Amino acid sequence: MDFGVLSTAGIARKAFLPGIEPTEHEVTAVASRDLERAEAFADEFGIDDCYEGYEALIEESDVDAVYIPLPNEFHAEWTKKTADAGIDVLCEKPLTVDAAEAREVVAHCEERGVTLMEGFMYLYHPRTERALELASEELEDVRSVTASFKFPLFGSPDDIRLSPDLHGGSLMDVGCYPVSLVRQVLGEPDSVYTYTNDSRGSGVDTELAGILEYHDASARIASGFDTQDVQRYRIEAANGWIEVEGAFNPSSDTYELEYEIDGRHAVETFDPVDQYRLEIEHFADCAENDRQPRTDGNEAIANMAVIDALYESAETDRAVDVDDV
């Protein structure tokens, strides 16, 4: 499968290109608003074609799929334009800025018969798959889940993750991972309550803490830009627990899964693997064989519905029913 990349964003350089390199697929086209930037990117990675403007790549290249790592504000627009050309789409998370827009984008792609996948790479890691398998098959009566993703965001105040116009904020950037993880274990929450802080006066949440309430369980999530790196989750049930450190985008080569179930304590170790490669291979397999991706449009809608409720709770300082948003 030949991919085009819309923009020379850092995640494309640091994650997507290294992830696709060992596969049988390749990036054959890249586009940027600045042609010189696209040319430099193409030279660096040995990409055949470069374009000035995203529309030019979509209209003129011969790619099978497009990877979209643009700022959140532009995901919906360029997903729909790519679908209009009959090209499959792998879009970075979050797929859209809210659930209503997600529904619109998903319907648009379905009408045009293209494969759409949201890039939650952590779900394709064997350790995540094993943790969810244990939670589903061996834990009994899961009562609580806690999940956090925080990191220190240094650099310019113009960083897109601090821009309200581009729909930045810690929840949209990294908090969406804990939301996703909780939903994989407990399903869709009944209501949520949220606390946020804008420590930099940027107009977005730089810290967020949320409670997700269920009929017979609860979850706590946290995200932020102001502390040291934290990536973990813990699942607790009547007969045991599961805990993972470095959970979503680990920087070490050690991948451990610790649990105690029915009095049996274990630490499972997983070999280093590029979860972006696994994500790309899953997407390509689904597109080529007309199958629904694990992180498809409906999954994106459900995740955004919870995120919408979390933001409404922060704005109103009250608990919010997810179905009412």
Torsion, CA 156, CA 158, CA 164, CA 167, rounded to 10: -80
Write down the residue that tokens 């869709």 correspond to: 188
Q: Tell me, what's the pLDDT at 221?
A: 98
Q: Tell me, what's the pLDDT at 239?
A: 98
Say which of 14, 80, 81, 93 is annotated catalytic.
93
Percent pLDDT > 70 in the chain is: 100
Tokens of 50: 């470069």
pLDDT higher than 80, residue 245: yes
3-state helix, strand, coil in the chain (%, to 5): 40, 25, 35
Q: Tell me, what's the pLDDT at 298?
A: 97
CATH topology of domain 123-272+304-324: Dihydrodipicolinate Reductase; domain 2 (3.30.360)
**Model confidence pLDDT, tens digit, residues 296-324:** 999 999 999 999 999 999 999 999 999 99
Q: Domain boundaries in the chain?
A: 2-121+279-295, 123-272+304-324
Tell me if residue 14 is catalytic.
no
| Count of beta carbons in the 10 Å neighbourhood of residue 291 | 12
Mean pLDDT of the chain: 97
216 — pLDDT class (breaks 50, 70, 90): very high
Element of type H or E holding 197: strand 191-197
CATH of domain 2-121+279-295: 3.40.50.720
Mean pLDDT over residues 175-203, rounded?
Answer: 98
Contact 209, 126 (CB under 8 A): no
226 — pLDDT class (breaks 50, 70, 90): very high
Lowest model confidence (mean pLDDT) among 53-62, 71-80, 93-102, 151-160: 151-160
Element of type H or E holding 265: strand 264-270
Q: At what angle do helices 99-111 and 75-84 cross, to 10 degrees?
A: 10
61 — pLDDT class (breaks 50, 70, 90): very high
Q: Tell me, what's the pLDDT at 156?
A: 86
**Model confidence pLDDT, tens digit, residues 248-284:** 998 777 799 999 999 999 999 999 999 999 999 999 9
- Cα distances (angstroms) measured from residue 92 to each of 201, 239, 280: 26, 36, 12
pLDDT higher than 90, residue 155: no
Q: Tell me, what's the pLDDT at 251?
A: 76
pLDDT higher than 80, residue 13: yes
**Model confidence pLDDT, tens digit, residues 91-122:** 999 999 999 999 999 999 999 999 999 999 99
DSSP line for 75-89: HHHHHHHHHHTT-EE
